[in-house]
């Protein structure tokens, strides 16, 4: 027991070493207080902006099917030729009609050991409702019954989305400014900017008519009345602004 007690004797720390250690601890604590983040007063707001635009890119899906007129077979090639000529007569460039599927995955059946093409799908692009009405009248005249409006878009959609985002963050800044003005405070720089959501949509059934599929009971000189819902863009932005301090 005496041996153990001698082995674990308490060491005496010199006074100058103890004083130096205490000074280092003091300076470390002072530096930590000096560089610790100071709580900045702030205000949090959300800005919302929206815009509606009339679509100028109208996509119609047209499906050609082989059919019989009495005993006469009307193949797809004949229908396609008449369709292209009719569209050109309406002033629609031939380049705006293209195959709906790049791979051209057509439906074929075997008939007397020959492949017979029975169906072919196209996409037609026009830029206004009046032209689209003429297209549907042409399809009715050509007895092409399977056609429908598949998509609407706008040619400047990317720039429109950017403008709506800018409007949203400006709305957030304006809101924060007048809220602080009510309490005689000034708006400081932004601390956090976070986009919350971007909405882009339209009603899918944008053609207000009896049916999107061509009807055969209309008069040849009767054009379907078309109206389009506007595309609605909406954006929401969250922003945290510092409250400016007066010295």
Give pLDDT tens digits along the chain (247 positions): 444 445 545 455 555 555 555 565 555 555 544 544 568 899 999 999 999 999 999 999 999 988 877 778 888 889 999 999 999 999 999 999 998 865 444 555 544 545 455 788 999 999 998 899 999 999 999 989 899 999 899 999 999 999 999 999 999 999 999 999 999 999 999 999 999 877 766 544 444 333 333 444 445 455 555 567 789 999 999 999 999 987 6
3-state secondary structure string, 130-181? HHHHHHHHHHHHCCCCEEEEEEEECCCHHHHHHHHHHHHHHHHHHHHHHHHH
Q: Which residues contact 225 (CB under 8 A, 6 or more apart)?
A: 133, 208, 209
pLDDT at 100: 80
Cα gap 193→132, rounded to integer Å: 43
Report residue 189 CA to chain centroid gap: 29
Token pair, residue 200, equals 């882009």
Q: Which of 225, 83, 212 shows the shortest CA–CA distance to 148?
A: 212
The per-type count for the chain, helices as H runs and strands as E runs, is: 5, 10
């Amino acid at each position: 027991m005496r041996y153990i007690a001698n082995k674990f004797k308490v060491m005496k720390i010199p006074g100058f070493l103890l004083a130096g250690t205490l000074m280092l601890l003091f300076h470390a604590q002072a530096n930590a207080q000096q560089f610790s983040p100071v709580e900045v007063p702030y205000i949090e707001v959300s800005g919302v902006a929206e815009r509606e635009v009339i679509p100028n890119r109208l996509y119609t899906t047209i499906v050609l099917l082989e059919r019989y007129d009495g005993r006469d077979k009307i193949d797809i090639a004949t229908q396609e030729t008449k369709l292209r000529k009719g569209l050109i007569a309406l002033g629609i460039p031939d380049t705006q009609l293209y195959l709906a599927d790049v791979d051209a995955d057509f439906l074929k059946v075997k008939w007397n050991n020959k492949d017979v093409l029975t169906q072919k799908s196209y996409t037609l692009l026009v830029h206004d409702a009046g032209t689209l009405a003429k297209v549907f009248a042409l399809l009715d005249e050509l007895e092409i019954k399977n056609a429908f409006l598949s998509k609407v878009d706008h040619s400047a959609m990317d720039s429109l989305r950017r403008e709506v985002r800018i409007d949203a963050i400006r709305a957030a800044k304006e809101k924060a400014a007048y809220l602080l003005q009510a309490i005689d405070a000034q708006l400081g720089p932004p601390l956090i900017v976070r986009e919350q959501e971007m909405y882009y949509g339209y009603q899918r059934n944008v053609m207000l008519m009896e049916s999107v599929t061509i009807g055969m009971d209309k008069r040849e000189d009767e054009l379907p009345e078309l109206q389009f819902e506007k595309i609605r863009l909406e954006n929401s932005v969250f922003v945290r602004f510092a409250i400016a301090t007066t010295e």
